[in-house]
A = this chain, B = another copy of it.
Amino acid sequence: MDTRPIGIFDSGVGGLTVAKEIYARFPHLSTVYVGDTARVPYGNRSQDAIIAFSSQIIDFLLTQSVKAIIIACSTSSALALAALKQKYDLPIYGVLEPAAISACIQTKNKKVGVIGTRATIQSQQFSQIINSVDSNISIATKACPLFVPLIEEGMTEGEIPISIAHYYLDSFKKEHIDTLIMGCTHYPILQPIISSVLGRNIELINPGIALCESLTKDPLFSTNAVNQQSSHKWFVTDNPDQFSLVARTFMNSASAINTQKITLF
């Protein structure tokens, strides 16, 4: 039985939407989470920067004896996954492919929308994966670079996020999409607003949920060891107390979350 933890990383708190699903679906698994809060957000950075930052995080996770890595950051999954898989000799999972495949299964009218950071949308990774599965699916994309700062500020309800959501999402109405990929792990935190702006007949794909569904048959995530005691650790590159506070609220945790600060550079 391989009891080593799974490494999970993101630029900041967004990856907690993925971690939350992992904790719920695979309660026997131990995990080590890294949030690169000293350099968040990744969404407007270059591919070189994102590969360099992600490598520094993986080098740290390897010191924690992880058996696999989940990139719980859509931008890093889009721009760095291929390079990281070549560089490292352990299983690395991104969040793009599961979300894209889930959208292909979900759409009935073969019209899919994708929202994400500027870097993710410019990479066209979602479109390439979707059309490699089904070339008849048409795809409308939109970069929504203000969503991450809104979420990091905790402005997830009220007039301002609603008007920003209209600004970014109204153009999807004339595309007649029936499925939208929330292509940044921060975005599920805005799901109520996204849903109210687009209307409830559009299916929203949450990358964390899609990833967990794709992992249910993976031996590394095996549920055989259901009695095994799991443990979770959280590390950030800046402001551990603020992260602990956000994480506890976000995960409705009854107990305090102990986050440690690490220096990667």
Contacts and interface: CB of A to CB of B under 8 A. Distances in A.
Q: Which 7 A-B pairs have the closest CB atoms?
A: A265-B265, A149-B149, A49-B238, A38-B49, A46-B238, A46-B239, A39-B39
A164 B153 contact: no
Chain A interface size band reads: 20 to 34
Contact of A149 (B146, B238, B239): B146
Contacts of A238: 45-46, 48-49
Given A38-B39, A39-B39, A153 B145 contact: yes
A128 interface: no
> Would you call the interface of chain A mostly helix, strand, loop, or mixed?
loop
A260 to B, nearest CB: 14
15 contacts: A38-B39, A38-B45, A38-B49, A39-B39, A44-B239, A45-B238, A48-B238, A146-B146, A146-B150, A146-B153, A146-B160, A149-B149, A160-B163, A160-B164, A163-B163
A236 to B, nearest CB: 10
Interface in A199-225: none
